[in-house]
Chains A and B, each alone.
Chain A
């Protein structure tokens, strides 16, 4: 910025611009007046220095330009129909966040563990003879499921050494393994157990049959 405290040309446009103007003016005069050009003659090495300085400055500008953002209006894809998520997309996002390895990953893992526990408790209560409290106790104590990776994830205990070592050599996160095995265990208990309890109860059928008469009486 120009130094406003000084008067004259320097005060209004600054030192560097003033020197630039003087140099350009000298060059222009040297083009026309031969004697002036002879008086300005400088050693060859000075010219090389000027060239090198210009090249270095050019390199600086180019590298700065590589970091600069190109601004471009994005139109998106209006020709395509607006898409909707698949069921469970939120769980997939949570899983991705839980495995990211950054500072917030632990809280995502905690939330994910809660969701998986709730589902596991519901599945166990529906498909086995455990009630919800017993199911939760089995999960928290690591007694269910049998798979050690799933049990460690769901019970929030340390993964066994063997699992950690195997994950290390396979370059896979132990948490990813725990999550994968947990959903497998839940699916196994839900899909592989006979579905007697899934049927409508006799009382509900009875209710649907008796309801008409009640309603008809009301009318």
Chain B
């Protein structure tokens, strides 16, 4: 990039002229002499342009695949590979947007002779997701600082932090099921645990399901029908549009991070109980894993939740077109899939999505991290607005789990009590 004037010394000529002028007018030779010294400084500011640095930059990270919360030590070494002296370098490392330097700033100032190198170290705390370092930004100035040159250097470094999701939250599923046996109690009579009805005995019925009490009372043979327990197909849909990235406290975890953590807990529990689970994102980045079961599928889901850009802890820059996205997800969703929609309900689009999915026959359960507060007029407005939207969704027959600061399992238990009323 071209060098430019910093205007740091602008006004020095005026000061010199002022001092010399006063010295002449008042006949004070010492003031004129001070002016002469100033002329020396003025000459110094015009000496040399900002150098064009030839730098070799190397970055190392102490851990490639850290666990969430683990501290990583980042080391950035800058070497002057050119022939010119670099008298004033300012170097700032491009820490990934989702990470934060914890102990020291990721920047340094250095003066490098040809062949000389300087190293800085800083620590970052790992957070879920794939994190790529951005450009290293360098400013080179001439000796007086009157000229400056800004350059960016790319140094590829990526770390992946995939968490181990705990199976802590057993979400009660709705009755839309597959033909496979599972844990969702249905209204279909057959084999199971819970009593459903009795019917006339047919040849071939298992002996253990014959209603012997009735046989003793009336002499007739009848068969007990039990509620069949079947597996469900569940798609965990995470709202990760830009508008879903909201946080009550800017320093705390945002709604998308909480949603992804919740999705991790839910899929672990669902896969563990034999349900077929898939994940999708309502996001500019396309993310879809069709429902499936088994250990390998579970590992794949975990990898995607941990590192797919759609689930990043900071919003992506892409455009999101809801009609296109909705048509795509509609085509992808199996007919018997129910949807667990994780969204903060930060706008009308989220509520509309839930209603439309429900209208297309996919039973929807909303898990909604609540990030609203009462610190400002806007946050108070958002709190009431969201509460009204949740009420409307509930009235439309959509299950809603309003998840505040409590653990997810507590919010689910509270919602279950409400549903059973």
Residues of A within 8 A of B (CB): 47-48, 50-66, 68-73, 75, 78-93, 95, 115-116, 119, 122-123, 126, 179-180, 183, 186-187, 190, 197-201, 203-205, 207-213, 215-216, 218-219
Chain A residues near B8: list those with CB within 8 A.
70
- Docked-complex contact B397 and A203, CB < 8 angstroms: yes
Please measure, in the bound complex, the distance between the C-alpha atom of A216 and the C-alpha atom of B229, giving whole angstroms.
12
Q: Does B387 contact A (CB under 8 A)?
A: yes
Given the known inter-chain contacts A75-B137, A79-B101, please indicate yes or no for A68 contacting B11, CB distance below 8 A: yes
- Docked-complex contact A65 and B10, CB < 8 angstroms: yes
Please measure, in the bound complex, the distance between the C-alpha atom of A64 and the C-alpha atom of B421, giving whole angstroms.
76
Please measure, in the bound complex, the distance between the C-alpha atom of A61 and the C-alpha atom of B186, giving whole angstroms.
87
Q: Which of B106, B148, B250, B382 contacts A84 (CB 8 A)?
A: B250
Contact with A along B375-410 (1 / 0, CB 8 A): 111111111111110010011111100000000000
- Docked-complex contact B187 and A213, CB < 8 angstroms: yes
- Docked-complex contact B17 and A82, CB < 8 angstroms: no
Q: Does B261 contact A (CB under 8 A)?
A: no
Q: Does B342 contact A (CB under 8 A)?
A: no
- Docked-complex contact B14 and A64, CB < 8 angstroms: yes
- Docked-complex contact B18 and A213, CB < 8 angstroms: no
- Docked-complex contact B22 and A55, CB < 8 angstroms: yes
- Docked-complex contact B250 and A213, CB < 8 angstroms: no
Chain B residues near A64: list those with CB within 8 A.
11, 14
Please measure, in the bound complex, the distance between the C-alpha atom of A170 and the C-alpha atom of B71, giving whole angstroms.
52
Chain B residues near A122: list those with CB within 8 A.
388
- Docked-complex contact A216 and B186, CB < 8 angstroms: yes
Chain B residues near A71: list those with CB within 8 A.
4-7, 148
- Docked-complex contact A91 and B382, CB < 8 angstroms: yes
Q: Does B307 contact A (CB under 8 A)?
A: no
Given the known inter-chain contacts A71-B5, A78-B93, A200-B395, please indicate yes or no for A88 contacting B11, CB distance below 8 A: no
Q: Does B274 contact A (CB under 8 A)?
A: no
- Docked-complex contact B186 and A213, CB < 8 angstroms: yes
Chain B residues near A90: list those with CB within 8 A.
378
Please measure, in the bound complex, the distance between the C-alpha atom of A132 and the C-alpha atom of B397, giving whole angstroms.
21
Q: Which of A85, A88, A92, A179 has its CB near the most chain B CB atoms (within 10 A)? A: A88
- Please provide the 7 A-B residue pairs with the shortest distance between their CB atoms, ordered closest to farther: A61-B14, A65-B11, A212-B175, A58-B18, A51-B25, A54-B21, A88-B378
B102 CB, nearest partner CB in chain A, Å:
9
- Docked-complex contact A200 and B418, CB < 8 angstroms: yes
A59 CB, nearest partner CB in chain B, Å:
6
- Docked-complex contact A91 and B6, CB < 8 angstroms: no
Given the known inter-chain contacts A89-B378, A115-B381, please indicate yes or no for A68 contacting B10, CB distance below 8 A: yes
- Docked-complex contact A84 and B315, CB < 8 angstroms: yes
Of all chain A residues, which has the CB nearest B8? Answer: A70
Q: Does B139 contact A (CB under 8 A)?
A: yes
- Docked-complex contact B391 and A198, CB < 8 angstroms: yes
Please measure, in the bound complex, the distance between the C-alpha atom of A8 and the C-alpha atom of B377, giving whole angstroms.
74
Please measure, in the bound complex, the distance between the C-alpha atom of A187 and the C-alpha atom of B381, giving whole angstroms.
8
The prevalent SS among residues of A at the interface is: helix
- Docked-complex contact B376 and A88, CB < 8 angstroms: yes
Q: Which of A59, A78, A92 contacts B106 (CB 8 A)?
A: A78
- Docked-complex contact A215 and B122, CB < 8 angstroms: no
Q: Which of A87, A123, A200, A209 has its CB near the most chain B CB atoms (within 10 A)? A: A87
Please measure, in the bound complex, the distance between the C-alpha atom of A84 and the C-alpha atom of B388, giving whole angstroms.
23
Chain A residues near B375: list those with CB within 8 A.
86
Please measure, in the bound complex, the distance between the C-alpha atom of A87 and the C-alpha atom of B315, giving whole angstroms.
15
Given the known inter-chain contacts A82-B314, A86-B246, A88-B376, please indicate yes or no for A200 contacting B419, CB distance below 8 A: yes
Chain A residues near B209: list those with CB within 8 A.
none
B71 CB, nearest partner CB in chain A, Å:
14
- Docked-complex contact B188 and A216, CB < 8 angstroms: yes
Chain B residues near A82: list those with CB within 8 A.
97-98, 314
Please measure, in the bound complex, the distance between the C-alpha atom of A205 and the C-alpha atom of B421, giving whole angstroms.
9
Q: Which of B14, B90, B397 contacts A65 (CB 8 A)?
A: B14
Q: Does B24 contact A (CB under 8 A)?
A: yes
- Docked-complex contact B395 and A204, CB < 8 angstroms: yes
- Docked-complex contact A201 and B384, CB < 8 angstroms: no
- Docked-complex contact B381 and A68, CB < 8 angstroms: no
- What are 21 A-B pairs with beta-carbon distances under 8 A? A50-B21, A55-B25, A58-B15, A61-B17, A73-B148, A78-B106, A79-B101, A81-B313, A82-B314, A86-B379, A87-B248, A87-B382, A88-B382, A88-B383, A95-B377, A95-B378, A126-B391, A200-B394, A211-B363, A213-B186, A216-B177
Q: Does B68 contact A (CB under 8 A)?
A: no
Please measure, in the bound complex, the distance between the C-alpha atom of A218 and the C-alpha atom of B358, giving whole angstroms.
17
- Docked-complex contact B397 and A207, CB < 8 angstroms: yes
Chain B residues near A198: list those with CB within 8 A.
391, 394
Please measure, in the bound complex, the distance between the C-alpha atom of A95 and the C-alpha atom of B24, giving whole angstroms.
59
- Docked-complex contact B174 and A211, CB < 8 angstroms: yes
Of all chain B residues, which has the CB nearest A85? Answer: B246
Of all chain B residues, which has the CB nearest A189? Answer: B384
B30 CB, nearest partner CB in chain A, Å:
14
Please measure, in the bound complex, the distance between the C-alpha atom of A75 and the C-alpha atom of B139, giving whole angstroms.
10
Chain A residues near B6: list those with CB within 8 A.
70-72
Chain A residues near B294: list those with CB within 8 A.
none
